[in-house]
């Protein structure tokens, strides 16, 4: 078990596009385990390899994570979910070379946050359903559908693989406010 250092905004590594994994070897499998340990230690519900300074297209996430609220953009309804089921300790899935191949619906991911963007959260418009394909750690092709918070987590982590942070999906005004706060904090340090 190794807890890896999480790269934080504004580190330029977070803006780089990750490279596909060509061979699943012991090094990749160890990275996956370390990423999962890091995600749960943080604590978080998802983690992409670039967040731990790896340029590989790998994500890990908690498949049992739940959200307290998400607003459906199409009809304005708020969906409540049972937060008592929020996190099953150490339950994770890894996807190698993940890709969203279909997406539909929309919702507002309320107070979306990121381990690489500390002390900030924002409402982000996301698809409510996605179909993802990739490889599992054994190298087998997988394809599955996810909805609601699981769809949000997958979109968020796959964005990381493409050099996109969730703050890139919010208004310029809100993004600039966060950037100013980070700059001020860096000057004070």
Got the DSSP string for 18-63?
PBPP----HHHHHHHHHHHHHHHHTT-SEEEGGGGT--B-EEEE-T
Largest distance between two CA atoms of the chain: 49
Q: Compute the distance between CA of residue 126 and CA of residue 103 in angstroms, rounded to an integer.
A: 10
Mean pLDDT, the chain, whole residue set: 90
Q: What is the pLDDT of residues 93-104, one digit of tens each?
A: 999 999 999 999
Q: What is the pLDDT of residues 59-92, one digit of tens each?
A: 999 999 986 444 444 444 444 433 334 445 678 9
Q: What is the pLDDT of residues 44-55, one digit of tens each?
A: 999 999 999 999
Tokens 């706060």, located at residue: 181
Please report whether residue 145 resides in a domain.
yes
Q: In what order do the strands lie in the sheet with 93-104?
A: 46-48, 58-61, 93-104, 129-135, 141-147
Please report whether residue 2 resides in a domain.
no
What's the CATH number where 84 sits?
Answer: 3.90.45.10
Please report whether residue 5 resides in a domain.
no
Please report whether residue 164 resides in a domain.
yes
State the residue range of the domain holding 112.
12-188
Please report whether residue 4 resides in a domain.
no
Number of domains in the chain: 1
Please report whether residue 6 resides in a domain.
no
Please report whether residue 179 resides in a domain.
yes
Q: How confident is the model at residue 160 (pLDDT cuts 50, 70, 90)?
A: very high
153-165: buried (b, 16+ CB within 10 Å) or exposed (e) per residue? bbbbbbbbbeebb
Q: Is 22 a catalytic residue?
A: no
Answer yes or no: pTM beyond 0.95.
no
Q: Compute the distance between CA of residue 122 and CA of residue 12 in angstroms, rounded to an integer.
A: 21
Please report the pLDDT score of residue 31 as a whole number: 98
Q: 57 near 98, Cβ under 8 Å?
A: yes
Q: Which of 22, 77, 87, 157 is catalytic?
A: 157
Q: What is the pLDDT of residues 111-154, one digit of tens each?
A: 999 999 999 999 999 999 999 999 999 999 999 999 999 999 99
Please report whether residue 142 resides in a domain.
yes
Separation in Å, CA 112 to CA 4, 97, 119, 142: 22, 23, 11, 27
Strand-pair category, 93-104 with 117-126? unpaired
């Amino acid at each position: 078990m190794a807890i890896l250092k999480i790269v934080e905004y504004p580190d330029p590594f977070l803006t780089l596009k990750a490279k596909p994994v060509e061979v699943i070897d012991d090094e990749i499998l160890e990275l996956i385990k370390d990423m999962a340990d890091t995600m749960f230690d943080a604590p978080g519900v998802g983690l992409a390899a670039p967040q731990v300074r790896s340029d590989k297209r790998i994500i890990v996430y908690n498949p049992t994570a739940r959200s307290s609220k998400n607003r459906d953009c199409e009809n304005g309804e708020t969906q409540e979910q049972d937060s008592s089921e929020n996190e099953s300790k150490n339950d994770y899935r890894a996807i190698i070379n993940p890709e969203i191949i279909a997406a539909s619906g929309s919702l507002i991911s309320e107070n979306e946050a990121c381990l690489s963007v500390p002390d900030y959260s924002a409402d982000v418009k996301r698809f409510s359903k996605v179909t993802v394909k990739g490889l599992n750690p054994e190298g087998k092709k997988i394809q599955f559908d996810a909805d609601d918070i699981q769809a949000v987590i997958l979109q968020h982590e796959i964005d990381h693989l493409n050099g996109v942070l969730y703050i890139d999906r919010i208004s310029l005004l809100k993004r600039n406010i966060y950037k100013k706060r980070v700059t001020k904090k860096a000057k004070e340090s």
